[in-house]
Amino acid sequence: MNRIVIAGVSGAIGGAMAEAILDQSPDSRVVGLCRNPDRAAERLQASGKVRLLAWNAEEEEVPADVLSELEAVMPAKEGIDTLIYAAGLLHSEDLFPEKRLEDVSASAMARAFAVNATGFAVLAQALLPWLQHREFKRIAAISAKVGSISDNRLGGWYAYRSSKAALNMLVRTLSVELPRRCKPVACVALHPGTTESALSAPFRQSLAQLQVHKPGETASNLLRVIRNVTAEDNGRFLSWDGTELPW
């Protein structure tokens, strides 16, 4: 893991993963994508080994200037060896997890799908030239256990659950195509566990009974799983502790 792209690097998990990579692998180079690079951690903004680029998961395509800047840092012929998709949306000022069917909104569903799922597919498509080298590549999409269809016993959270289930299907589908075009490669979905972040902040009271990790702990857990991934793990849905989850 020396040439890494992290989408959603201004978020708690994406940012913590970038910082952990700087600590654990000082020779690594990281390109961090996020809507507003000024919101990324100060350490990432100051690091000479991190390039922060403005990118919006809701856009229909990755802007040409973003790809041009990526090419300047990590040429496509050299490629990237790790793509981590950590962008995610659970709530915002006008969006909150639904408790019942009457709460479902078409616009909220569309936005959740854009950030949690479609953005991953569009980014993978744009980065295909960077994935066609002959070294082993890891593609990890930060999903969620609530996106598991067979594990859904509580209901609710229609937009988030559905969009994470869609992300899982994208991972699974890519895992079929990419070995034919980018071998050797492993494309996996990862459940980060419950993490202390702005995303989980409104649910602190209901999370009291759960194991909640600090962002740094989550980052270390996920990087450990990603580093241990091999081509045989392609197409799997893995939890933060390395165990396999049901789709």
Tell me what pLDDT residue 92 has.
Answer: 77
Q: Is 146 helix (H, G, I), strand (E, B) or coil?
A: helix
pLDDT of residue 91 exceeding 90: no
* Higher-confidence position of 161 and 210: 161
Tell me what pLDDT residue 51 has.
Answer: 97
pTM of the model: 0.93
Lowest mean per-residue pLDDT among 39-53, 133-147, 209-223: 209-223
**Closest by alpha carbon to 211, among 192, 231, 227, 228?**
192
How confident is the model over 185-208, as pLDDT tens digits?
999 999 998 888 665 555 555 555
How many C-beta atoms surround the C-beta of residue 103 within 10 A? 14
Confidence band for 209, pLDDT divided at 50, 70 and 90: low
Q: Is 84 helix (H, G, I), strand (E, B) or coil?
A: strand
Tell me what pLDDT residue 191 has.
Answer: 97
Across the chain, mean pLDDT equals 93
Cis peptide bond N-terminal to 184, omega within 30? yes
Dig out the tokens for 127 from the structure: 């980065």
CA distance 86 to 183: 23
Confidence band for 96, pLDDT divided at 50, 70 and 90: confident
Tell me what pLDDT residue 87 has.
Answer: 96
Tell me what pLDDT residue 126 has.
Answer: 98
CA distance 176 to 197: 33
Tell me what pLDDT residue 199 has.
Answer: 59
Nearest 5 degrees, angle CA 162-CA 168-CA 171? 145
Average pLDDT of span 16-42: 95
Tell me what pLDDT residue 94 has.
Answer: 76
How confident is the model over 149-170, as pLDDT tens digits?
999 989 999 999 999 999 999 9
CA distance 154 to 127: 37
